[in-house]
Amino acid sequence: MTLRLRRHTFADDQPLMMAIVNRTPDSFFDKGATWAEDAAFERVGTVVEQGAEIVDIGGIKAAPGVEIPPAEEKARVVDFVARVREAFPDVVISVDTWRAEVGDAVCRAGADVLNDAWGGADPELVDVAAAHDAAIICTHTGGVTPRTRPYRVEYDDVVRSAIEDTVAYAQRALDAGVASESIVIDPAHDFGKNTFHSLEITRRLGEMVATGWPVLVSLSNKDFVGETLDLPVGERLLGTLAATSVCALAGARIYRVHQVPETRQSVDMVWSIAGRRRPARAIRGLQ
């Protein structure tokens, strides 16, 4: 299906790179490298030049930590969104937030997508998306509280749970008035899951794709990759790309990433193998 992210549309044969831009001092991967606004803005310029169609701006790390009230979250992201919107009118701006209050402020500043990593913890977020004709990412977390780590979480069937919860969330968004072409579902690897759950989600991602909703995957340097390979955060790129290739073969549409060029090449190669993308050139044996 054609995907519409507020003012931007994308055909169904186009996989999209969503580059992570953290406005936080304590992110697990970049360790605060883009905490300063100018550093974050430079990061936006770099990933746009690398071909990212979407930038995902976040003001709070997912892991437990210092309490960040809505006012502080807005101070970190709202003016920055406005700055990015003015400088890069053609890029899709996503904001990683679960709070309706923050969502409303960033949409007014120019955001196109509300990336709710916490599975509808604030039920009013869908109303905000509808009011601004914004897109929304509907994730599966198993009902965990925002910014908490999973502990002995159990599912009878984690994939069935992910499908049921994200499709129900998508329906709530539809009922609130969000356009069907502006709704994306995300199994949310690591969130409310142990490593075995995330591996099974990856292996069976095609079942989520079969729902008909566009699927986003956020795999980049996640703990399930690190635990599977026994590697620290800074050494998980190859494992990330392997998991990305499996999800690409299954038909995931959006890839939330730290490393854009490497992910783009992996996804393009897999989509070409799958017959969804033509090679950039094909002259071998023809001339």
Average pLDDT, 10 consecutive residues per value, the chain (287 residues): 93 95 90 93 98 98 91 98 98 98 98 97 98 98 93 96 98 98 98 98 98 98 98 97 98 98 98 96 92
Contact 19, 54 (CB under 8 A): yes
pLDDT in the model for residue 27:
85
For the chain, domain boundaries: 3-273
Contact 72, 32 (CB under 8 A): no
CA 260/CA 255 separation, integer angstroms = 9
CA 144/CA 133 separation, integer angstroms = 28
Helix (H) or strand (E) holding 9: strand 8-10
pLDDT in the model for residue 30:
86
CA 139/CA 187 separation, integer angstroms = 6
Q: Any residues with CB less than 8 A from the CB of 59 and at least 6 apart, and which?
A: 23, 24, 68, 72, 73, 74, 76, 77, 95, 96, 97, 102
pLDDT in the model for residue 26:
85
**Bridge partners for 8 per DSSP:** 5
Count other Cβ atoms within 10 Å, centred on residue 269. Answer: 14
pLDDT in the model for residue 114:
98
> Domain 3-273, what fold?
TIM Barrel (3.20.20)
Which alpha helices (DSSP H) does the chain contain, by range? 37-49, 70-87, 100-109, 125-131, 158-176, 195-203, 205-209, 223-229, 237-250, 260-273
**Bridge partners for 18 per DSSP:** 54, 256
Contact 90, 52 (CB under 8 A): no
Contact 221, 233 (CB under 8 A): yes
